Amino acid sequence: MISLALVAAVVAGCAAISSAPSSSLPVASAVASPEVACDSAQFQPTPSLTCGPAIAAALAVLTPVHPPIIREEFRWGGLCPPGAPCAPPLGNAGIVIVGFASEPSVFVYVSAEAGGVVAASSPALYPSGY
């Protein structure tokens, strides 16, 4: 049986939490689903790395506190400037570009490893013009 005193204590605790000053740190939030773009290149045989697991691995290496994400993009291959002679992409490696609402975009190298594990590098600033 729940006592009136217990209910009053819970309500008072909730009121204290909701009236606490908010932090000025940006917080990851689900304001809206981010736009997701997946490279549509076709590989034979079927690639060992696919868009969903690549994006999941990249998101896992982001700092826990960041602005809302507005875009997630998976591309086969590495970071290559427009018009530069780049190595052709393989089906086991790529990059994920993460766009934020109020900070510059970052990119993460991802690769398929043994046993279906997707490895991800630390995030780095995505260069403008790429």
Beta-carbon contacts of residue 29 (< 8 Å; ≥ 6 apart): 68
For residue 76, give the nearest of 98, 96, 57, 61 by alpha carbon: 96
Note whether residue 2 is domain-resident. Answer: no
Q: Please state the pTM of the whole predicted model.
A: 0.73
Note whether residue 44 is domain-resident. Answer: yes
Note whether residue 117 is domain-resident. Answer: yes
Note whether residue 13 is domain-resident. Answer: no
Note whether residue 130 is domain-resident. Answer: no
Count of structural domains within the chain: 1
Which tens digit of pLDDT belongs to each residue from 7-54? 333 333 333 333 344 444 444 545 679 999 999 888 888 889 999 999
Domain range for 85 is 26-125
Note whether residue 14 is domain-resident. Answer: no
Which tens digit of pLDDT belongs to each residue from 54-86? 999 999 999 989 999 999 999 999 988 888 888
